[in-house]
Structure 1
Amino acid sequence: MATLVLRAVGTAVGGAIGGSFLGVTAATIGGAIGAAAGSYIDSWLISTTLPDQTIEGQRLDRLQVTTSTEGAVIPRVFGRMRIGGNIIWASDFREEINQQTQGGGKGGGPKVTTTTYAYYASFAIALCEGVITGVDRIWADGELMDLHGVAWRWYAGDETQEPDPLIKAKMNEAPAYRGTAYLVFEELLLESYGNRIPQITVEVFHPLLDGTPEGRLQSVTLIPASGEYVYATRQVTKTEGGAKTTGINVNAEATQADLIGALNRLQASASNIQSISLVVAWFGDDLRCETCKIRPGVDQPAKNASTSWSVNGVSRSDAFLVSRDDKGDPVFGGTPADFSVVEAIKEIKARGLRVTFYPFILMDIPPNNTLPDPYSDDASTIGQPAYPWRGRITCSPAPGFAGSPDKSEAAVGQVSALFGSAAIGDFSVSGTSVSWTGPSGDWGLRRMILHYAHLCKAAGGVDAFLIASEMRVLNQVRGPANSFSAIEQWSSLLSDVRSVVGSDTKLSYAADWSEYFGFRSAGDSGDLFFHLDPIWAHEACAFIGIDNYMPLSDWRDGFDHLDAQIHPH
């Protein structure tokens, strides 16, 4: 009311004075001044005459508990299955009262107090007759649960499991429910479920392990090899179009990184797993060892990711960009970021598994390239095979082709160029970050291998480390007097890697199954060389490694063999 009265008074006084200021009439100015004064008076009157207000949220007048059925059938599970559960124990709901007060200050109107209530419940749900090997996704009222920040645990249902500590603390004495697999949720916030315990369904694993391949499996190779964030245990996202945020390494489930889900499924499906080979790739760009560079790569020149990419101190803007297909999509994922490799090593070891680190070379030589082909008698032949096997890296021309430097000092120089000159002291280590401090143009194999030796040590160590694998033709390139330059280089690398990782890590080279037994020269004496023996006999080499690709059948050209007789069509 004061606002209206004083606005009118101010307008009248201003009109009597007359005139204007900066184009605004005195009447308008007087009305504004009067309205401001009236507003202050109105606020003071309201704050002194109205009582404080209290707003109270919804409070439960009774506790709702999901039905627990006595005598319900306990199912048995075979394989992987989504099943419902039966509540076997629940605590009283815990009520949490929260109060917030606003206003009440000088000239600020009445004081408003808002009271809200939150409810929490702890409960246990029987799932099935044991023994399960894992629990994967969990749904509440049909919606996939985000278990981030939720305190929960599961019991496999074996005959030795102990009572849950929470149930025991609440009840003093508690059964262990031996023979029954069950879940326990501790202090679950019920706000999203209508302040009641939701209907829970669970995906469980109960593989038939006895006598099965899954039951016998003790080690696997984790081989994305490329993918900038595939090994991260944290969730990495990117922003697209300035607003839309999507998960980069969150594809299988919305609530966890892909690696975590993959390891969970692996251990649930093959519970006797003991060791994992972690494969990480850099990219080679030429089959000619003298000119081939081995570099970490990225799949996009720019990516608005929540965690930045870096490998060996190389940032995204300075990294090798992998080739594109006809649609403009990258043909490879990028090299896993160093931080993600460290996270993967720590996660695997935290699960009680052994880690074998496996550095890998992917050859990024696109179709229709103009690189000279070392596997040709004509030096003018242009175009190397697209995306070839790393085992075809060789001198140029390759052994057995016209003009090859094989069995000469020139071959030794070409092989040495591929390895480069990286030394142990060319790396800077800070925490779990490893950077390169050597010459900027050195992209040899030694830089890659020594980088990962330092990174594995910074991650807390690994159980085994391979210095390389399947460099078949390179290993057969000879220098003078039938010396094998690459073998000498691998032997030197074994010594250097041992100095970095220490004596607890087992080292080796993973030979291709077509080279481990030796090399028989062609075109001259046909002598047989056991050229890998200096590696296997090296004091730093702990075991003989073979990438063994056993054939699944005996099928061969023609029809004069057993498979053709069994399957004539």
Structure 2
Amino acid sequence: MDDPIRRGDRDRAARRQGGGPTTEVTTYSYFGNVAVGLCEGPIAAIRRIWADGEEMDLSDIDIRVYRGDEEQLPDPLIEVKQGAGKAPAYRGLAYLVFERLALERYGNRIPQISCEVLRPIGRLEEEIRAVTIIPGASEHGLDPRRVREELAEGEDRLVNRNVLNGDSDIEASIDELAALCPQLERAALVVSWFGDDLRAGHCRVRPKVEVRVRHENEDWRVSGLSRGDAEVVSSFDGGPVFGGTPSDSGVLKAIGALKDRGLKVTYYPFLLMDVPPGNGLPDPDGGAEQAAFPWRGRISLDVAVGRAGSADGTAAARSAVEAFLGTAASGDFSVSGSRVNYSGPAEWSYRRMIFHQAHLAAAGGADAFVIGSELRGLTRIRDDEGRFPFVEGLIAIAEGVKEILPDAVVTYAADWSEYFGYHPDDGTGDVFFNLDPLWASPAIDAIGIDNYLPLTDWRDGDENPAASSIYDRDGLKAGIAGGEYFDWYYASETDRAEKHRTPITDGAHGKPWVFRPKDLVSWWSNPHLERRSGVELAEPTAFVPMAKPIWLTEARLPGDRQGRQPAEPLRRSEILRERLAAFLDRRA
């Protein structure tokens, strides 16, 4: 299939030496047209190619990849060489065609070609319909265009290109994703700002950068801030702990790149907590200081809900929540090109973050928008009238986002321990469906749940578990609506270690689903009647059964749920969690 090496692009240069005659020098550049057979098809894609052991920059060469399916057509260059109707299509064979491959660096010969081939071998890739684009903290990582940083005179680097199989990291990632997951329909674009305190009344939410000064051809700019104006993320061992907030212009181009590939885009604002070690900040949960880089679900009052001395249930609790929310309005923003301008109150608040990002999402044409995620510590705070001020704040935010994105799906991504209700551990027997006003709001189109519920309680050394192994498909399937958090729970860590299981029951009411985080179907299908002192109220909440779809806005991976209290959320490293979380966008 090789086209013989040929001479091409002959360059002639006239040279005169002294006063003598002109000497004509002829130089030759050699190119090769070559097809390389790889393996039995079909494959998904080629990630990397080496020529004589050196990785090739695929942006510099003209290459066509044939996946080896039964529908592929002959390569046009081969057909030109062999004649119309005389070139085989090589169906069932995956192969490459290089056109005019420059050969000088390989000694003017066809080099030895090696490839990294991508080929799914199971069903998973074929069934994935939605994913998350992460990390959400990378100043230019979402920008499809190359961003160049000058390091010193005559020395620079591309900050968003660390691969040779795409123009930028995100372009290469999207191309690979589309090849591996042919049924992909939606991508969630995570964009992070940073909180700086677990105490709601003291926490400020703002974009941050990795370094104060960076000489680059694409200026970083977010919410009216330039690099020199922004705060810098915490550092460790000489480097930033987090990537910076993605630049507004890069976010807009990323939305466009995803939509150009036919994907629907869910815009996912994300709150990372930049609370470094040795912060000295009072811990709402009673620790010596706030834990380093904590989970955003721990944001609460100065003294957390449920602890002695907490302001929960007072007017001061509402004031703390309102300080966190801020007063920025959806109309305080305007868009000019790739810039979102802000003219509202001088505050770095939760509302400013969400409305800023909603305007970016609208400018880019996003199809869905998440107004927050896993803020469990805030959604359980009550004021002096027994109302939930942060839930009210989320409703107001959802209404503002709907004004900005009237045609987009709007949701809140609740933690799995949060979505279905709140049962204070105070002996009252109260049952609150505290998020129901949000789920019932006309501004909310879907019920979002970050689902990190366990499927199995398999332990190393188990001999007679419910499933034959952690790989038992029937056992895993049964765990979707059964097992821990459905049929039973562990009342203590001792019980967990000894596998002493307490059944989930509901006495005379006969509604155990009220206390089952895993029973999504019953929660979704039934009216919700709250309880006071264990007695059901006469009227249900505003929640309308089966009125809105459930989206699993995140879903758990195996092996990340051991030794947690039944009512506790997963408090893994936030950075690791966001690198692993898969956004499935499934409906119940």
Global fold match (TM > 0.5): yes
Cα 1:455/1:115, change in 2 over 3 Å: farther
**1:473-488 equivalence runs, <5 A:** 473-488=377-392
Give 3-state SS (helix, strand or coil) of 1:117's partner.
strand
**1:528 counterpart = 2:431:** yes
Cα contact 1:506–1:541 (8 A) shared by 2: yes
**1:184 counterpart = 2:87:** no
The CA deviation at 1:562 is: 8.5
Deviations 1:239-290 (CA, angstroms, capped at 9, x unpaired): 3354443343333448653333333444444444433222221110111212
**1:488-527 equivalence runs, <5 A:** 488-503=392-407, 505-523=408-426, 525-527=428-430
The aligned amino acid for 2:396 is S
The aligned amino acid for 1:398 is A
**1:425 counterpart = 2:337:** no
The aligned amino acid for 1:280 is V
Cα 1:447/1:110, change in 2 over 3 Å: farther
1:415 is aligned to 321
Cα 1:436/1:90, change in 2 over 3 Å: farther
**1:399 counterpart = 2:305:** yes
1:132 is aligned to 43
1:442 to 333, 347, 359: 347
More displaced stretch, 119-128 vs 362-371? 119-128
State how far apart, in whole Å, the 2-side matches of 1:92 and 1:233 are. 36
Give 3-state SS (helix, strand or coil) of 2:200's partner.
coil
2:279 to 369, 373, 378: 369
The aligned amino acid for 2:95 is Y
Cα contact 1:208–1:215 (8 A) shared by 2: no
Give 3-state SS (helix, strand or coil) of 1:343's partner.
helix
**1:164 counterpart = 2:67:** no
Cα 1:562/1:474, change in 2 over 3 Å: closer
State how far apart, in whole Å, the 1-side matches of 2:427 and 2:313 are. 12
The aligned amino acid for 2:363 is A
1:117 is aligned to 28
State how far apart, in whole Å, the 2-side matches of 1:533 and 1:425 are. 27
The aligned amino acid for 1:137 is R
More displaced stretch, 467-476 vs 198-207? 198-207
**1:299 counterpart = 2:213:** no
Cα contact 1:218–1:274 (8 A) shared by 2: yes
Under a length normalisation based on structure 1, what TM-score does the superposition of the two structures give? 0.74
The CA deviation at 1:350 is: 2.7
Cα contact 1:94–1:121 (8 A) shared by 2: no
2:363 to 446, 454, 458: 458
| Larger RCO, structures 1/2 (Cα 8 Å, 6+ apart) | 2
Deviations 1:292-346 (CA, angstroms, capped at 9, x unpaired): 1101111212223343222222111111211223x34322221122233223322
1:28 is aligned to none
1:543 to 426, 443, 446: 446
The CA deviation at 1:101 is: 5.1
State how far apart, in whole Å, the 1-side matches of 2:395 and 2:454 are. 31
Cα contact 2:148–2:216 (8 A) shared by 1: yes
The CA deviation at 1:382 is: 6.7
Aligned pairs, how many?
464
**1:470 counterpart = 2:374:** yes
The aligned amino acid for 1:117 is Y
State how far apart, in whole Å, the 2-side matches of 1:373 and 1:110 are. 88
State how far apart, in whole Å, the 2-side matches of 1:328 and 1:247 are. 21
1:175 to 83, 88, 94: 88
The CA deviation at 1:471 is: 0.6
State how far apart, in whole Å, the 2-side matches of 1:527 and 1:300 are. 49
**1:358 counterpart = 2:268:** yes
Cα contact 1:365–1:384 (8 A) shared by 2: yes
2:552 is aligned to none
**1:75-154 equivalence runs, <5 A:** 88=1, 90=3, 93=6, 95-100=8-13, 114-154=25-65
Cα contact 1:136–1:264 (8 A) shared by 2: no
Cα 1:371/1:269, change in 2 over 3 Å: same
**1:133-282 equivalence runs, <5 A:** 133-170=44-81, 171-173=83-85, 174-209=87-122, 212-253=123-164, 256-282=167-193
If you compute each CA radius of gyration, which structure gives the higher value, 1 or 2? 1
State how far apart, in whole Å, the 2-side matches of 1:94 and 1:277 are. 50
Structure 2's unaligned 5+ residue stretches are 460-489, 502-588
Cα contact 2:420–2:433 (8 A) shared by 1: yes
Give 3-state SS (helix, strand or coil) of 2:42's partner.
coil
State how far apart, in whole Å, the 2-side matches of 1:281 and 1:526 are. 38
State how far apart, in whole Å, the 2-side matches of 1:119 and 1:244 are. 31
Give 3-state SS (helix, strand or coil) of 1:414's partner.
helix
Deviations 1:452-496 (CA, angstroms, capped at 9, x unpaired): 11112222x223211100010111112243221111111111122
Deviations 1:363-387 (CA, angstroms, capped at 9, x unpaired): 11122223233345xxxx8732322
More displaced stretch, 406-415 vs 267-276? 267-276
Give 3-state SS (helix, strand or coil) of 1:231's partner.
coil
The aligned amino acid for 2:258 is I
The aligned amino acid for 1:384 is Q
The aligned amino acid for 1:561 is K
Give 3-state SS (helix, strand or coil) of 1:197's partner.
coil
**1:309 counterpart = 2:220:** yes
The aligned amino acid for 1:547 is D
Cα 1:185/1:502, change in 2 over 3 Å: farther
State how far apart, in whole Å, the 1-side matches of 2:118 and 2:217 are. 33
More displaced stretch, 168-177 vs 146-155? 168-177
The CA deviation at 1:131 is: 0.5
Cα contact 1:99–1:116 (8 A) shared by 2: yes
The CA deviation at 1:91 is: 7.5
Cα 1:470/1:347, change in 2 over 3 Å: same
Give 3-state SS (helix, strand or coil) of 2:58's partner.
coil
State how far apart, in whole Å, the 1-side matches of 2:189 and 2:359 are. 16
Under a length normalisation based on structure 2, what TM-score does the superposition of the two structures give? 0.72
Give 3-state SS (helix, strand or coil) of 1:438's partner.
coil
State how far apart, in whole Å, the 2-side matches of 1:110 and 1:408 are. 100
Cα 1:188/1:506, change in 2 over 3 Å: same
State how far apart, in whole Å, the 2-side matches of 1:94 and 1:425 are. 65
State how far apart, in whole Å, the 1-side matches of 2:15 and 2:339 are. 48
1:348 is aligned to 258
2:295 to 376, 386, 389: 389
State how far apart, in whole Å, the 1-side matches of 2:213 and 2:164 are. 26
RMSD: 2.9
State how far apart, in whole Å, the 1-side matches of 2:88 and 2:292 are. 64
Give 3-state SS (helix, strand or coil) of 1:204's partner.
strand
Identity of aligned residues (%): 46
State how far apart, in whole Å, the 1-side matches of 2:16 and 2:355 are. 64
Cα 1:475/1:143, change in 2 over 3 Å: same
1:47 is aligned to none
State how far apart, in whole Å, the 1-side matches of 2:455 and 2:216 are. 42
State how far apart, in whole Å, the 2-side matches of 1:110 and 1:457 are. 70
1:42 is aligned to none
